Amino acid sequence: MNQPATKVLVIGYVWPEPRSSAAGGHMMQILQSFLDQGWDITFSSPATIGEHKADLPALGIHECAIELNSSSFDDFVCELAPDIVLFDRFMMEEQFGWRVEKYCPNALRVLETSDLQSLRDARQQRLKDYLKHDPAADDFSPLFAPALDEEFQRMADTDLAKREIAAIYRCDISLVISDVEIRLLTEHFKVPSTLLHWCPLMLDPPTAPFASFEKRAHFLSIGNFRHAPNWDAVLWMKNSVWPLIRQQLPGAQLHIYGAYTPPKATALHNPTQGFHVMNWAEDALQVLTAARICLAPLRFGAGIKGKLMDAMLCGTPNVTTPIGAEGMGGDHPWPGMIENSASALATAAVALYQDQERWTQAQEDGRRLLARRYAQDIHGPALVERLEHCRSELALHRRTNFTGSMLRHHLHKSTQYMAQWIEAKNRNV
């Protein structure tokens, strides 16, 4: 007799948009790993639907809109009776974790961290402080090379870090996209490694020939404008990096693509300076394949960068910062160049743009890096195996995580009462 398919409920912070953000792409890769197992997946979210949402029903994934602070979720989750519940980012665990534990206590609770938001926010604040001290700064080496202990010191007293780390403890398994962030969590926040699983971006490495150096032209930058690190990178390019490139290559053109382009971004469009704000790319891989260099001058951020993965998929060498490359290369050669200052980034970009031999080597370095570190057929099965193993020993696994049990007891009680108060208040409005 066949066993019933494993039921998975995903509670999304947003509906996935794989062509708008790396987080959306990563969610789709996780869902594909579950589909490959024949699992029965329901994706739910309290968010409004964005214009670039993935067609989940076409993949055989059920969809259900849910409400915050509403007992309608209790009825929904009871009827669904999932075996695994995946919270997309810690805010969803805070909102719905107590309800899942109350009505589906034996469901495996999984947290998709996407990236550590508390790390990203701490780095953003550090950049603001740095610029406040030196508004004309060119070299950001002090920001790009702190020891993990220094990162911990900046994060440890923040409410955001306390909320995020607590959610990791409350879940049975947390998916972490960057091995650098796993080191930060285990070595400095002292999170047990048994609660974490390295789950990077997952894809099928390219095997076909790439478009050649001669068939490509121009520089390209891409990323969701709603994501603060991307917007900061655009401003840094506009004000510092791009003028230095144009001094050395007067005819150079930069095309900037991004989802949800705000008026403040389109206002930067200046064809006479070769600075083109292009709005959303219908096919990001197509525009990347036509470009010679991908620019990603990120001054803060966390996780790993989908734009650089896409560039490697297209055979497009990149020029970025240590923040951009963090957690991505491992011990492998970087498929491009990494620099710390606007002047060094500009010099590297011009050199790579003109040097066909170095450019071709970077292109092949990207192909090898994807194959050795990001293959879907390795990480997808490893993820499924880890979840199934945890499910098989769930009682023991939870017993060894007393800190998580204690945090669930205290937070879920307070969260439950607050949610019930809000729901009652809404009924009386």
Provide the token pair at 271: 């064809």
Cα 116 from Cα 132, distance rounded (Å): 25
pLDDT of residue 418: 64
Q: What is the pLDDT of residues 185-227, one digit of tens each?
A: 999 999 999 999 999 999 999 999 999 999 999 999 998 888 9
DSSP helix/strand/coil, 175: strand
Is beta strand 336-338 parallel, antiparallel or unpaired with respect to 275-277?
A: unpaired
Positive/negative CA dihedral, 378, 289, 319, 276: negative
- Beta bridge mates, 371: none
pLDDT at 1 over 60: no
- Mean pLDDT, the chain, rounded, equals 93
DSSP 369-409: HHHHH-BHHHHHHHHHHHHHHHHHTHHHHHHT-HHHHHHHH
pLDDT of residue 110: 98
pLDDT of residue 255: 97
The maximal CA–CA distance of the chain, rounded, in angstroms, is 72
Cα 106 from Cα 86, distance rounded (Å): 13
Cα 174 to Cα 22, 23, 89: the distances in Å are 18, 15, 10
Q: What is the pLDDT of residues 330-372, one digit of tens each?
A: 999 999 999 999 999 999 999 999 999 999 999 999 999 999 9
Could you give all domains of the chain from N- to C-terminal order, each with its CATH number? 7-118+147-202+376-427 (3.40.50.2000), 213-373 (3.40.50.2000)
Q: What is the pLDDT of residues 97-147, one digit of tens each?
A: 999 999 999 999 999 998 999 999 999 999 999 999 999 889 999 998 778
DSSP helix/strand/coil, 173: strand
- Mean pLDDT along residues 61-68: 96
pLDDT band at 419 (very low <50, low <70, confident <90, very high): low
pLDDT at 164 over 60: yes
Counting other chains too, the contacts that 348-352 makes at CB distance below 8 Å and 24 or more residues apart are 348/319, 349/219, 349/241, 349/245, 349/293, 349/295, 349/319, 350/245, 350/248, 350/249, 352/293, 352/317, 352/319
CB contact at 8 A, 76 and 66: yes
If you ran DSSP here, which 8-state letter would residue 71 be given?
T
CB contact at 8 A, 307 and 294: yes
pLDDT band at 275 (very low <50, low <70, confident <90, very high): very high
pLDDT band at 421 (very low <50, low <70, confident <90, very high): low
pLDDT of residue 39: 98
Percent of the chain with pLDDT over 70: 95
pLDDT of residue 416: 64
